[in-house]
Amino acid sequence: MSEPTILHQKINLPYRYTAGEFHKAFLHGLADRRIVGSRCPACLTVAVPARPFCPECSAHSGETMDMEPRGTLESWSTATIRGVTRTYGLIRIRGADTVMLHIVDAEPSALQVGLELAPRWSPEPVPEITAIAAFVPA
């Protein structure tokens, strides 16, 4: 068997994203240091981030709502790449029926399902997911 051919490339992929009503509410909420979800009027599922359609029954979401800025760790994965260890977790924001993926800044040995987390906000209030630098133990 021959050695595999490995290509190291960097792909620049410029794009422009136009946020709809619900994602816009979520992003602007982040800039205000708030977490915004949406509630389905049909089945009452609460989704975070806010979404235009219910992930459970596909009905059009009726309203956005501010969520408590706390959540619990549902699952996580930690990897060390080029000497940098980073943990990504699935976080269920309090009151939500869905989970969101984000960086968790905690010692991997301290992580457990149900660990209470809070956002550590970035210094710059921007309408981007990076407005939350990471979730940290509450």
Q: How far apart are CA 78 and CA 91, in angstroms?
A: 14
| The pair of three-digit structure tokens given for residue 85, joined into one six-digit string | 């260890």
Long-range contact list for 103-108, CB < 8 A, 24+ apart? Answer: 103/133, 103/134, 103/135, 104/73, 104/76, 104/134, 104/135, 104/136, 105/133, 105/134, 105/135, 105/136, 106/136, 106/137, 108/78
Average pLDDT over residues 81-108: 96
Report field, pTM of the whole predicted structure over 0.95: no
Average pLDDT over residues 77-99: 95
**Is pLDDT larger for residue 16 or for residue 1?**
16
CB 37 within 8 A of CB 96: yes
pLDDT at 39 over 90: yes
